[in-house]
């Protein structure tokens, strides 16, 4: 053992950043929060319209991801990172999103060109907004996003 500590401690990989470290420390709480979020997501198809279900899910995921600063970015990264502890939870979130979006498409409640990846990016943006602005402003901006998914709106050409 060296003066600075055991070799095993030195070889143990350190989390890359404070968000990763926070996520690792909060893992038990995150698992409970994920369980509650998934339960909510599973109930949404039986409540309200297809668009209301998708909007409710988007809002719930944004609130969930904003619970810890930096978690929104970790969740987006973990969707494709099978080695991440969050990968399984991200896959479950993605499955719920895809099912709700599919139902909304079938109901004609969202534009045909809206993909699950679009909804994931919007939820991530909504979570980031919740970290930056007052809650009422974040809610208003999420409403604007959801309304932009609705059919009948011609895309603005830039």
**Residue 28: its pLDDT value, please?**
76
Which pLDDT value is given to residue 50?
95
Q: What pLDDT score was predicted for residue 29?
A: 77
Of 110, 93, 91, 115, nearest in space to 44 by CA = 93
pLDDT of residue 19: 58
φ, ψ for residue 12, nearest 5 deg? -65, 125
User: Tokens representing 45?
Assistant: 């198809």
pLDDT for residue 12? 38
Question: Can you give the pLDDT at residue 3?
Answer: 43
Q: What is the pLDDT of residue 36?
A: 93
Give the model's pLDDT for residue 75.
63
Report the candidate in 49, 24, 45, 53 with the shortest Cα–Cα distance to residue 119: 53
Residue whose structure tokens are 């534009």: 111
Residue 47's pLDDT is what?
A: 87
User: How would you write the pLDDT of the chain (158 residues) with one tens digit per residue?
Assistant: 434 433 233 333 444 566 566 656 667 777 888 899 999 999 999 988 999 999 999 999 999 888 876 666 666 665 666 666 666 777 888 999 999 999 999 999 999 999 999 999 999 899 989 888 999 999 999 999 998 899 986 666 77
pTM of this prediction exceeds 0.95: no
């Amino acid at each position: 053992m060296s003066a600075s500590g055991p070799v095993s401690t030195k070889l143990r990989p350190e989390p890359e950043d404070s968000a990763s470290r926070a996520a690792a420390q909060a893992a038990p709480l995150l698992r409970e929060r994920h369980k509650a979020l998934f339960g909510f997501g599973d109930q949404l198809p039986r409540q309200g319209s297809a668009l209301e279900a998708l909007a409710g899910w988007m809002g719930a995921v944004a609130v969930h991801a904003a619970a810890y600063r930096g978690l929104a970015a970790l969740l987006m990264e973990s969707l494709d990172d099978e080695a991440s502890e969050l990968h399984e939870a991200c896959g479950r979130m993605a499955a719920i999103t895809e099912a709700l979006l599919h139902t909304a498409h079938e109901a004609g409640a969202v534009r045909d060109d809206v993909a699950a990846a679009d909804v994931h990016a919007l939820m991530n943006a909504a979570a980031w907004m919740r970290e930056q602005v007052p809650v009422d402003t974040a809610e208003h901006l999420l409403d604007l996003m959801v309304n932009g998914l609705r059919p009948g709106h011609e895309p603005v050409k830039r």
